[in-house]
Amino acid sequence: MADRKSNRHCGSSLDDFLDEEGVLPEFRAQAIKEVIARQLGEAMKERGLSKAALARLMHTSRTQVDRVLDPANGNVTIETLQRAAELVGRRLQLELA
């Protein structure tokens, strides 16, 4: 087992570690996508909407809805997310902190 004093990351936060590794923005973006996808999925369940039903409401394909709900997909626009959110009774809110 490595000595704690020799580990430069011991005692640092996860954000500090990811920043030092140069991957913090990527991890933050992925986390945001995962939260949005999960919340959209939950709102769909609350309203009893299937992916096919949401696709019809959005005037798009079920494949596109799959992309919206897949946090690994990086090609979904904010406008698409806003439209999906509105159709499930939610509002997408972005802010700079």
Give the 3-state secondary structure of the chain.
Answer: CCCHHHCCCCCCCHHHHHHHCCCHHHHHHHHHHHHHHHHHHHHHHHHCCCHHHHHHHHCCCHHHHHHHCCCCCCCCCHHHHHHHHHHCCCCCCCCCC
Region 91-96 average pLDDT: 88
Specify the pLDDT at position 72: 87
CATH of segment(s) 22-87: 1.10.260.40
Specify the pLDDT at position 42: 96
Tell me the C-alpha distance between 76 and 81, whole Å.
7
pTM of the full structure: 0.76
Asked whether residue 71 carries a pLDDT value surpassing 90, the answer given is no
- Name the average pLDDT for the chain: 87
Least confident of 2-16, 42-56, 61-75: 2-16
Question: Phi, psi at residue 27, to the nearest 5°?
Answer: -70, -40
